[in-house]
Structure 1
Amino acid sequence: MAASLPKTMRGQFLEGFKKPYALRSVPLPKPATPHDLLIKVDAASYCHTDFVLAEGQMPGFPKQFPHVGCHEFAGTVVSHFDPPSSNASSFKVGEKVGVPGRAFHACGKCFECQGSRDPVSRDDKGYSVYCTHAENNGLSRNGGFSEYAVVDARQLAPMPGSMGPVETAPLMCAGITIYAALKRCKLNPGDRIGIMGCGGGLGHLGLQYAVKMGFNVIGVDAADGPLQLATDLNTGARIVDARKEKAEDIVQQAGTEDGKHDLGEMGLDAVIVLPESQAAFDYAMILLKAHGKCVVVSFPENGFHISARDVVFRDISIIGSLVGSNKMLREMLNFSAEHDIRAIARSFPLSKLNELVEEYHKGGGGKLVIDMAMEN
């Protein structure tokens, strides 16, 4: 099959910060190490990080221009390096796979690759998504906004038979990120959790995962489009408009429902903060009961102001969450397939990527995806 591959491909390239993408043809990339696979990209999803990168707000990334973005995509294996590694050879030509951004060419020798203490990010010894020496598709190296891409077999997940590439691509960053954040909460069925930014790309997936995990879920947002999207999902989660409902009132209502009378006992067991908003962070902290957990996923340029009183006097734990291991990626995909969890997405052809970006800035919620089949 490799012999029939084209010599060139089209890709959407960033040629500088704060500039639109430029569609052009370049030579087809080739696998360069035994772990490498060449895939035909079938779908590529747009992430907030793609915007942050294009604006020049990620110091050190990209390493050079022109640059192909996208770190959440899906495609079809078309060729291997010769000879392939055992990891690469486990994927057959024609197999459908999901591709996250992390971690391309992990070193296999650092602290993380040798097995860190974090059970959420830990993979088998010899590979870690947290490898400090690895590259990242769409960030430090070219990603999925192109017709073909070279990927590391160790970072891939087989696509479930019940899912297509447009459904799989958004889960390769948004899905695994919110799924891992939920795991970090370490909740039991019936526990209360709040998701700040519940109508966004991660948030609306988080609502679906959290409900299927058996949690008592409150979704919070502060914009009409995302709130409508979250409501229309009909997950059974309570959807709150932060512009109209005070966090203190929600705490009191939770206490009444739980039969609690001590203020420290009232509220949520955990919250996940997705927006880059101090107001969202503050709202989330008020929602928590004493000894609750705040999981921070967003990383605003100027950080968050944290009240020492919450941390010291209420014993609130604040932890960060980035991604999950390759094992968790596969777990998340299988969970999504089993429970019919899907991103609410709108699709665009590769040639219309700049129009997709314009739609992103309108803030309608959900995900925006490049569907390569739309070019044909």
Structure 2
Amino acid sequence: MASMQNIPKTMKAILLHEYGGSYRFHDAIPVPSHLDDYDVLIAIKSAGFCHTEMLVRDGIIKAKQLPLIPSHEPTGIIVAMGTKVSHEFELGDRVGALGCNHACDQCPDCLNDQPLYCDEYCATGITINGAFAEYQKADSRWLVSLPDEISFEQAAPLMCAGATAFNAIEKCALKKGEILAIIGLGALGHLAVQFAKCMGFKVIAIDNRQEPLELVQRLRYSPDLTIDSSKTDAENAIKQINTLHSSTKYNYPGADATLVLTEPISAFKYALAITKKHGTMMAVGVPREPIPIEFYDLIFRDITVKGSLLASIESARRMVKFVAQHGIKSEIKIYSLEEVPNKIEADQDTNKRLVESEGEIHHHQHRNVQYGRPYFVVLLAAFSSLGGWFFGYDQGVTGGVVVMSSFKKDFCIGLYGNASVCDLPVGTLPSDYRRFLVLYTLLYNVGCFIGAAFISSSVAEKFGRRAIIFTASFLFLIGTSMVIFPPGGSKKIMILILIGRIVEGTGVGCSSFACPLYASEIAPTHLRGMLSGFMQMTIVTGLFLANVVNFLLRNHKWGWRLSNGIILIVPITIMIGIFFCPETPRWLFKKKSRELAEKSLKRIRKTTNVTVELDAIADAIQEEGNQISIKELLTTKKMLQRLGIAIGMHVLNQGTGINP
């Protein structure tokens, strides 16, 4: 056995102490010190959390003893080896391991080369300690070498979810072009969709939840057809499936095979109903009740019903090479070991694969993103930041125009006919005019609030980032036009102008949200701070220009109208130019498809090498689903500190008076 003298005596780990209880974090658990002949010690880099862990925690599957370290999806580096470990493995190798350990080697299954079905083998994270720790002992006969193309985080779910889905599809024994219906689009299902597509099958993805149905449509290898089983009964599902068949009289209605990767009994009934005559239903999900199978399906429809358990080591190794070859990705969330006890409770009902990784939350696989040439993205960010010009300009121009003689002539002298009255101190001005001056500024700020709080986010999410930039410019154009074009000298006109100020402010509020959002979503990470800050630069430029223009036009007979109106060239320019700008890849990926996001990203980066960055975007979008509740935000000490810092910075920033 390789020396373990450089390996620490204790390690961090998560333990389950009692059935029905919560997982607990420990920082001084003994590192496994005894290795049998075929064992290796793995320094864990990432480990997956599977539905089976929940069954063990709830006591439905019993461990040999408690406390128990959970997780049967380990990946990491070999740091010690037993004396009989195969020469194909060496110290320092990147590996994953299936959850099987030390079959008996004596039962019929072991003697017939099917140790996976041995009744005596030990199951990692189920009957013996698993991978939610810094080190784990594993049986080298169930090791899978990891190619460099697959990160530890991406590899972890493959050790159970991936292996199980891949093996089940292989056991369906379909030919290329045949139809596979996959029911249940959780951790196994979204991988099964990608496997089946890359194997050349026509794939139907079925679930009764909207979120996983939308998720699989965003995958690089998306299904040919998605069906919401909560809205589509089996009869109508078959009609949709039949559209994928080639037009020949020899085809039977329905899917050639159905793969059930979930546990509700209704899923198995649905699968049997949509499976064609002489087809196959493959059962992988583990229901808590007996599966109802009618004799009619077995005898008169000749349906073959099979089950599939994990995978042989040969199948698992084929699967890992297949994943690397096709660039298949798992949808995952990543947490540090210390966070696992709290996060598992929050995420146990989701359909996403949870992955625990040592250290901070991170994505190793995205460190080598290539961003291409930056000139176009800088140009796009500069263009989008033009919205800051009319933001800053309008902030700066208002104080100057209300004291111009041309403004007083239209709204004070025109109404009261006495210039001396209009030159009095503010407190002694005619009440109607004084109220108009107050509302002229106040209602603009009301509009800003409406735009930023109620319009911008909804338009940006539903219609896209370009849409909200166009909307902001359009509202500012309309609002400013309502202010500068009507003649003065009438209280009705003053009311119209005040309405225009609300519309104008709404446009400014929308631009304050839209422009930095667009810049940040198109910017490469190393330029994001600078490009997102372009708008602040245009805001202060607008403030400066407003004061210069006010000074130059202070005595012009149309001074206040020209001062307000000159800036209209900016929203007009934006409204035209935004149609020539690409939509952000992030929004396209989230709302449309991966293909459209990829096309946009290639245009922005001026390179075709965008796959890694696109995967990073996909993971970031996935992580957004892991948002905390308002209650957690207001009651968790760590989150309260962050909230206090964020609010405090804005309060102090505004308190300086820099932003008038």
- TM-score of the pair, normalised by structure 2: 0.52
Check the 8 A contact 1:57/1:301 in 2, yes or no. Answer: no
In structure 2, distance between residues paired with 1:31 and 1:190? 50
The one-letter code of the counterpart of 2:171 is R
Residue identity (%): 33
Q: Displacement of 1:335 after TM fit?
A: 0.4
Check the 8 A contact 1:31/1:80 in 2, yes or no. Answer: no
- Structure 2 equivalent of residue 79 of structure 1: 80
- Structure 1 equivalent of residue 212 of structure 2: 226
In structure 1, distance between residues paired with 2:220 and 2:38? 42
Q: Displacement of 1:234 after TM fit?
A: 4.6
Check the 8 A contact 1:41/1:74 in 2, yes or no. Answer: yes
- Structure 2 equivalent of residue 96 of structure 1: 94
In structure 2, distance between residues paired with 1:253 and 1:357? 37
The one-letter code of the counterpart of 1:98 is G
- Structure 2 equivalent of residue 186 of structure 1: 173
Matched, 1:174 2:177: no
Matched, 1:31 2:34: yes
- Structure 2 equivalent of residue 330 of structure 1: 317
The one-letter code of the counterpart of 1:155 is W
Q: 2:57 aligns with which of 54, 79, 99?
A: 54
Check the 8 A contact 1:350/1:375 in 2, yes or no. Answer: no
The one-letter code of the counterpart of 1:357 is I
Check the 8 A contact 2:25/2:341 in 1, yes or no. Answer: no
1:286-317 Cα distance to aligned partner (Å, 9 max, x none): 11110110000011122211122111111111
SS at match of 2:191: helix
In structure 1, distance between residues paired with 2:232 and 2:252? 20
In structure 1, distance between residues paired with 2:166 and 2:270? 22
Listed as ranges, the matches of 1:85-234 within 5 Å are: 85-87=84-86, 89-102=87-100, 104-116=101-113, 122=114, 128-198=115-185, 200-234=186-220
In structure 2, distance between residues paired with 1:375 and 1:190? 41
Check the 8 A contact 2:334/2:354 in 1, yes or no. Answer: yes
Q: 1:40 aligns with which of 39, 43, 53?
A: 43
Q: 2:260 aligns with which of 270, 273, 292?
A: 273
- Structure 1 equivalent of residue 14 of structure 2: 12
- Structure 2 equivalent of residue 119 of structure 1: none
Q: Displacement of 1:183 after TM fit?
A: 0.7
1:32-88 Cα distance to aligned partner (Å, 9 max, x none): 311111111111101000011111112xx211110111111101111123xx1042x
Check the 8 A contact 1:207/1:219 in 2, yes or no. Answer: yes
In structure 2, distance between residues paired with 1:92 and 1:334? 19
The one-letter code of the counterpart of 2:68 is H
Q: Which runs of 5+ in 2 are unaligned?
A: 363-660
1:90-119 Cα distance to aligned partner (Å, 9 max, x none): 3211111001112x1122232222225xxx
In structure 2, distance between residues paired with 1:359 and 1:307? 39
**The structure with more radius of gyration:** 2
In structure 2, distance between residues paired with 1:243 and 1:76? 44
Check the 8 A contact 2:96/2:156 in 1, yes or no. Answer: yes
Bigger shift: residues 218-227 or 105-114: 105-114
Q: Displacement of 1:265 after TM fit?
A: 1.2
Check the 8 A contact 1:38/1:79 in 2, yes or no. Answer: yes
| Greater strand content | 1
Check the 8 A contact 2:85/2:140 in 1, yes or no. Answer: no
Q: Displacement of 1:362 after TM fit?
A: 3.8
Check the 8 A contact 1:31/1:37 in 2, yes or no. Answer: no
SS at match of 1:354: helix
In structure 2, distance between residues paired with 1:112 and 1:250? 40
SS at match of 2:110: coil
- Structure 2 equivalent of residue 314 of structure 1: 301
The one-letter code of the counterpart of 1:222 is N
- Structure 1 equivalent of residue 68 of structure 2: 67
In structure 2, distance between residues paired with 1:228 and 1:11? 35
In structure 2, distance between residues paired with 1:90 and 1:190? 37
- TM-score of the pair, normalised by structure 1: 0.91
- CA RMSD, Structure 1 to Structure 2 (Å): 1.8
More relative contact order, 1 or 2 (CA 8 Å, 6+ apart): 1
Structure 1 residues 69, 86: closer, same or farther in 2, change over 3 A?
Answer: closer
Check the 8 A contact 1:31/1:38 in 2, yes or no. Answer: no
1:171-221 Cα distance to aligned partner (Å, 9 max, x none): 0000000001001100000001100012x0000000000000000100001
SS at match of 1:266: coil
The one-letter code of the counterpart of 2:241 is A
The alignment of Structure 1 onto Structure 2 pairs a total of residues equal to 357
Bigger shift: residues 222-231 or 150-159: 222-231
In structure 1, distance between residues paired with 2:89 and 2:229? 46
